[in-house]
Structure 1
């Protein structure tokens, strides 16, 4: 195959050696004993080019200046004779393909060697089989030529496959470059998104911390306000009861205004009668221990009696209604709810407090309320009917002295 039949120019100490004329039938052939047509494919296929350059450089002390083709042609030429280079190549081929040589050693005939060669060609492992088959003792000239032909065609096919693979390899390189560029772009985008999400997460964590701090601060303020409210509630006794009473008093004031308005409208709607002397008010004469009897006039007055004996309430009512007043009673906190006392005080025009039958709390509440509002109040020590009558007579005398007898505010 190699048309350049010359020795390596750098190998000057390689001497020609004639092949042995009579080889033993059982001995494997040496490299220089093969035909010259086998050397080119054997060196090209059996030995890597890098190793061949290294081996030639070792033989020439590193003075290999030729290109790869010239090194190949020179090595093929030197294989025709026994010399240092051919012996080194022989040794390397034996070492490299020792397992294949052992497989071919079982062949006892040319047909068996040919069968092993065809099997190696079918499996695609021809380098070691080519060397083991050519050097086998049962390989004749016909099998040697057939093996060289087969290897020649295999090399053509390998070249075509290499060219196809090179095209695929080039396309793969282009796809690889494109995908690498796309991967780099996606990695940059992913990095940018990661940084953005990281920044957003940090901002959200900062907002969460601020919200937690605000919530803790609000909880502290709420606790402080609750404590302050509890202190204020503790400082003001019966705050809830007073609040309810104030609400009820406001409702009663509204109701009173509505009733007064209705009374005014009814008075305006009635025809005016002829002017005549007013009818005499009911009189109640009470014996006051030897003193002169005085009539009691409390027409249209609301009298609240606080305290007294429960068995005398009916007598209290009859006495007060007999002089034209409206009667209201509160036991002073003994049985009635003390919280209703303020509303009863607000609705009364005159308060009679029987101090002998009243609680201390109700007594001070009546006294404080009448002092604050200026409402007329009479305190009676003895809860008897005569004491109540004397209290009414005292109030009636004061009203008569002021010239306001029998009128309602």
Structure 2
């Protein structure tokens, strides 16, 4: 739907021209229309002429004025043309008018194709009253300007008095400056005399101290020679130490490579130990049952499951069974059967292997990460339910280690401080705990 032209808004041409154009723009557009408006005509005469031309349908001035307003307020036109709802148009007008932006929204609404007549009348009335308020404000500004001019005259008189006082003060200051310059000249003369006396005294001192200076020079020359010799010896020693340091660095690299190889071997041995423990787990778990069925001679007759005791099959004497019994290793771990062992710290990636290894020793493993994510309150809870504690000192926080030592000492619980967090170290610790608990 096409927008309304300026001719279609002939009833509102006066506020449109008066509101949407500045005085300079009004004059420039009148000059575009030729000599119809004289250069010395008043602003009101130019306004009346342009309002009359805006009402002429198809006239050149009306078309030019239409294009000029569309170009000047193209952003406002695009914003208001997207909206067709009267309530939204009224809200947009209110927001822009309250912000002080009247000309652009006023032209956009007056040329809007679907804006209702009631909305246009309300906006026209608001703009009309706004012109009255602006006129009243201008009259008040003129009265205020008169008052300000009077105050300006008073201020100028006061300023002139201040200038007079300032001139007098400058005169006094100049007199004091002359006195200060005279005093400065006298002081400069005294200083020059003192400088001449100082130079004469310095020459006397220099002539009397030449011998002492030469002696000091000879002493310093001897010291310099001695320091040069010591510096040469120090540089030689530094070269020897640098060579030794390079050798030590090479040895360190070799030791580091050897340590890496040894770590790989240790990991392989731990894996082998973990697999080998599967064969010994049955004997460890069968300790209690094995020695509950001892015969009259004090030695077990059969293993759990009906297997005969290897000692009996070998025909070993009763007094040697304690050393040669096939379940000798199980005696060390038999005391852990049904026990709860708390493992504080260690590597999180091996927790599942820790628990499987503990099950093969016949006990249940409880784990606390040593304070990485789990709290100290959780550690106290686990310490209360555990029968023994294992703590690897290479992979645990100092706070958790101190807490474990204090708790085990107070509760009289067995504590093993393992040197490492590997599986082999845990196996040795569980074997040691088995002998302790037993």
TM over 0.5: no
Q: What TM-score comes out, normalization by structure 2 length?
A: 0.40
If the length of structure 1 is used for normalisation, what is the TM-score?
0.43
Structure with the higher helix share, 1 or 2:
2
